[in-house]
């Protein structure tokens, strides 16, 4: 059930619809070029909201969400006006997910494309196994963030907890605050002009004004774990 709201937004109210019905309404635009604004009311921590979207919709969720919000997102622009539970924007392909509060662990896990912006903090394992998406966290990130990240970028305006970038591949991490410790095979790297450009464009895309790329340090893979080393044969 959708009803036209006064500001041309459509309303999906979870006080009246089941999660499946709500997602069916949102997914009914899949494959279209429809850019309608849809407001989702009374999310009440419901899991798997606004998952599998595949149209340039603007979805605004009015409250806190449960697990896997906006998972597998493609093209859509999803805003959560609250906190998001585990695995927000997991396996996102494109589009944008903007969380106005904090996010729980494994944010943007395995995401291939698109941008996740978190206004607050991200818990553990942010960007785990990232495959090409970009993440901007305006607060702090928890331990083991970017574990085994393969491609894409995590920008942290605050601090990073233990074991940042453990076993990282060709993904990039930019940190403005302190890093408690780096994980295995993650090292600090120099910032070249192209990195500054990448950072500046992500800061702009995420609405961070007045913050200069020079305030950040860059971290990435030492590439020491990519190949088996013959001298370690005795271990096996």
Partner 1 sequence: MCGIVGLFLKNDQLQRDLGAMFAPMLIEMSDRGPDSAGIAIYRDSSHDANKITVATTLKDVDWDEICDQMYRSTGHQVRSMPNSSHVVLMTDACPDAIADCVAEHDPNAQVMSVGRMMEIYKEVGAPAEIVERFGIAHMKGSHAIGHTRMATESAVTTAGSHPFSTGRDMCLVHNGSLSNHNRLRDKLIRHCGVRFRTENDTEVAANYLSHSMHEGYSLHDALENSIADLDGFYTFVAGTSYGFAALRDPIACKPAVLAETEDYVAFGSEYRALAGLPDIEAARVWEPDPAVVYSWKIQ
CA distances 48 to 39, 201, 203, 224, Å, are 16, 30, 28, 38
Answer for the pair 44, 61: CB distance below 8 angstroms, yes or no: no
| Minimal distance, residue 124 CB to partner 1, in Å | 5
Q: State the number of CA atoms in the 13 A half-sphere of 1 facing the CB.
A: 7
Binds partner 1 (CB under 8 A): choice among 11, 45, 72, 119: 45
| Minimal distance, residue 47 CB to partner 1, in Å | 8
Using CB under 8 A, which residues numbered 65 to 84 contact partner 1?
66-67, 83
Reading the block at residue 232, the tokens are 């370690």
Interaction of residue 192 with partner 1, rule CB under 8 A: no
Which of 179, 94, 173 minimizes the C-alpha distance to 136?
173
Stretch that binds partner 1, among 30-38, 63-71, 182-190, 191-199 (CB under 8 A): 63-71
Binds partner 1 (CB under 8 A): choice among 52, 56, 63, 177: 63
Residues 6+ apart with CB under 8 A from 18: none
| Minimal distance, residue 109 CB to partner 1, in Å | 14
Interaction of residue 127 with partner 1, rule CB under 8 A: no
Binds partner 1 (CB under 8 A): choice among 23, 102, 198, 206: 102
Distance of CA 217 to the CA centre of its chain: 20
Helices (H), the chain: 19-27, 193-205
Q: Which residues bind partner 1 (CB under 8 A)?
A: 44-47, 63-64, 66-67, 83, 85-86, 101-102, 104-105, 123-124, 142-143
């Amino acid at each position: 059930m959708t009803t036209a709201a006064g500001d041309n937004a459509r309303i999906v109210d979870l006080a009246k619809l089941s999660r499946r019905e709500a997602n069916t309404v949102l997914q009914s635009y899949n494959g279209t070029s429809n850019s309608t604004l849809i407001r989702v009311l009374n999310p009440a921590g419901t899991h798997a909201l606004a998952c599998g979207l595949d149209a340039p919709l603007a979805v605004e969720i009015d409250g806190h969400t449960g697990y896997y919000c906006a998972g597998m997102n493609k093209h859509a622009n999803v805003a959560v006006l609250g906190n998001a539970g585990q695995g927000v924007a997991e396996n996102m392909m494109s589009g944008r997910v903007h969380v106005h509060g904090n996010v729980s662990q494994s944010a943007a896990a395995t995401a291939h494309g698109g941008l996740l912006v978190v206004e607050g903090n991200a818990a553990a394992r942010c960007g785990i196994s990232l495959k090409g998406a970009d993440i901007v966290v305006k607060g702090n990130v928890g331990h083991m963030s970017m574990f085994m990240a393969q491609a894409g970028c995590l920008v942290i305006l605050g601090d990073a907890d233990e074991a940042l970038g453990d076993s990282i591949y060709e993904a990039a991490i930019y940190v403005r605050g302190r890093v408690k410790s780096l994980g295995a095979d993650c090292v600090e790297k120099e910032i070249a002009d192209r990195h500054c450009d990448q950072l500046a464009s992500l800061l702009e895309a995420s609405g961070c004004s007045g913050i200069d790329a020079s305030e950040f340090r860059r971290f990435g893979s030492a590439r020491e774990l990519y190949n088996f080393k013959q001298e370690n044969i005795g271990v096996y």
